Structure 1
Amino acid sequence: MSEPSHTAGRDAAPARTAFAGHDEHADVAALVVTHNSASHLDALIRSLRREAAGQSIRLVIVDNSSKDDTIAIAQRHADAMTVITGANLGYAGGVNRAMAAAGEADSYLVLNPDLTLQPGCVAALRDRRRRSGAGIVVPAIMDAEGAQTLCLRNEPSLAAALADVALGARRRPSWIPSETVCAPAEYASARQADWATGAAMLIDSAVAEAVGTWDERFFLYSEETDFCRRARERGFTIWYEPAARVHHAAGGSGSSLELEKLLAVNRVRYARKHMSRLRAALFRGLVALNALARGYDRTQRAVLRTVADERSWRQLPAASRLTRQP
């Protein structure tokens, strides 16, 4: 069984924008999990290099068995560390491999490969962490057209799931329970949140040590929900910082019927992990009822069948067996 490819050194970029080596102090270790990300990766790395002026950033790229030119693009940046897993470990598995390879840093910045960071993003995240004592800080996420996305979330609940059945994904007033934080005013200033979408997340080293690894049973979706909950249970807070901004091209994980099914099923798996047996059963019923209420859509009909038939869950996307050890 072969070892993964690790590349380290310096590329031709000016010294002030070089990434920190493994034996150097890093204010931030940026962790990027890739899977067929060739069309986005260079743009993310360029934006990270700009952020390396005035603060030390180590870049670790973990590739989940890409079939395109992702690995070649990553390895062109000789001062980044590239870890080739030889399998698709899922997002949580990739983050765990990146964290293990990154070594010591003051904080860890988990990033989707289809992001670019606006200038000053990392400094603003770190400043919010210092001023608030937050364990995790998340930025504002802008879509490809520059509009702000609703990235903040409330803890999943039966009340919010029931409201989803009645109202669907539409925005709703704050007095109606919702897992998504919908009110634009909530995004105007820094605030605490239960969790946020996992596209960009600065994690203090104390949180990483206390919470431990991301739960790899969540191949994709709900893994960040679970990690943030475990952080909160250990007394850490999650903060949103609007002065830190990233642009998200979206679609980095792809979109397919199988992923839609996985999204629904992982919400049920999360409920089973963190709710009582009765509440988890009710939550599963509401997830199924939500799909049933939208049965005019072929995708939702397929989601309903999958949620109802637990035997079919074994056929959903899951981590593939390693052919190389990280």
Structure 2
Amino acid sequence: MRVAVVIVTYNSADVLEGCLRSLASGARGVELAAVVVADNASADDCLTVAKRVADLPVITVQLGRNAGYAAAINAGVDALDLDELDAIYVINPDCRLASGSIVPLAECLKTPGRGIAVPYMVNPDGSLQPSLRRRPSVRRAVVEAVIGGDLAGRLGRLGELVTNPREYERPGPFAWATGAAMLLSVPMIREIGPWDESFFLYSEETEYCLRAADRGWLTWYEPASVIEHIGGDSGTNPALAALLIVNKVKLFRRRRGRPAGAAYYLAVLLGEGARALAGRKISKASFAALLRPSEVWLP
């Protein structure tokens, strides 16, 4: 299969070279047609780093401003000739591909109806990084508010986040997955169109997977493909955590309407409020942001 890679960067020079260096090995067994580095006006030397990895077919795209993750993906895809490709692998710059890890994902997309293939994601120490999600619902939001997302994700199908390690042992369809690594089929890209740029950061991958599912395209998980993800700081940075929560509620309301959206909002607000009272800093920021979403910080 002919595969291109799109990497979105924003002040990512410290991790980008490691990602690029892993691509040649990770792409064994497929034709790596192009590597697009779409840069959101980084203040560091991201683009210099991208250009010095000489053994890769690197294309750099400069957005000229910090336009957000979805906008940078769209710019990266626009720089490619879809007629020459079978799939596009969208990955974060803090990802490292295991040898031959694109092939199992590419094989997944050969099955009709599969539009997105996602890998088994690990932390730098090799431990599982939960990346799979079930469809958002009011019931799941209530359960996660009461007992927490990690525990809810281990008890049957109660939680949205899949945290039970046994569920990562076998391939299968899921509602959505983290956007740090997604192989997208070109036929699906043509049908469902660009990523939604109204989500500056977070929930854009949720919206994309759910919109694809609306059109009959599955998001398929394949554990034979392994990728290391260093991970961002949404779990420790209050401003980013607040943006994540607000966009999560925004997307649910947009898809399900006001009555269900209001119930979902109250459930999430309850959960963040309880954790804020327990002293969790990022929940304090998230709770405040839910009360005043128009004041949420953007980079």
For the aligned pair, the TM-score class normalised by the smaller chain equals: over 0.9
Structure 1 or 2, whichever has the larger Rg, is 1
Matched, 1:82 2:60: yes
CA–CA separation in structure 1 for the residues paired with 2:102 and 2:251: 30
1:153 aligned residue (129, 133, 142):
133
> Is the alpha carbon distance of 1:127 and 1:307 closer, same or farther for their aligned partners in structure 2, counting shifts above 3 Å?
same
- Tell me how far 1:245 sits from its aligned partner: 0.4
1:227 maps to 208
CA distance in 1, matches of 2:283, 2:106: 41
Contact 1:63 1:94 in 2 (8 A): yes
Distance 1:87 1:208, change over 3 A: same
Query: What's 2:17 paired with?
Result: 42
State how 1:163-174 maps to structure 2 within 5 Å. Answer: 163-172=143-152, 173-174=154-155
Letter in 2 for 1:29: A
How far did residue 200 of structure 1 move?
0.5
Which residue matches 2:30? 55
**Distance (Å, rounded) in 2 between the aligned partners of 1:232 and 1:76:** 39
- Structure 1 distance, partners of 2:18, 2:294, is 41
Does 245-254 or 141-150 show the bigger shift? 245-254
Give 1:183 shift.
Answer: 2.1
Match of 1:306 in 2: 289
Alpha-carbon separation, structure 2, partners of 1:46 and 1:303: 37
DSSP-derived class of the 1:226 partner: helix
1:97 aligns to 2:91 (yes or no): no
| Consecutive unaligned residues in structure 2, runs of 5 or more | none
Establish whether residue 29 from structure 1 lines up as the match of residue 4 from structure 2. Answer: yes
C-alpha contact 1:138 1:202 (8 A) present in aligned 2: yes
TM-score (norm 1): 0.85
Contact conserved, 2:28 with 2:99, CA < 8 A, in 1?
no
Is the aligned partner of 1:73 residue 2:53?
Answer: no
Structure 2 residue 96 is the aligned partner of structure 1 residue 120: no
Change in CA separation of 1:48 and 1:253 when aligned onto 2, cut-off 3 Å = farther
Question: What letter matches 2:74 in structure 1?
Answer: N
Q: Residue in 2 aligned with 1:140?
A: 120
Q: How many residues align?
A: 291
TM-score normalized by the length of structure 2: 0.92
Taking only aligned residues, the RMSD between alpha carbons, in angstroms, comes to: 1.8
User: What 5-or-longer segments of structure 1 have no aligned partner?
Assistant: 1-25, 319-326
Give 1:131 deviation, angstroms: 4.1
The DSSP-based 3-state class of the residue aligned with 1:189 is coil
Partner of 1:129: 109
Equivalent residue in structure 2 for 1:204, among 178, 185, 188 = 185
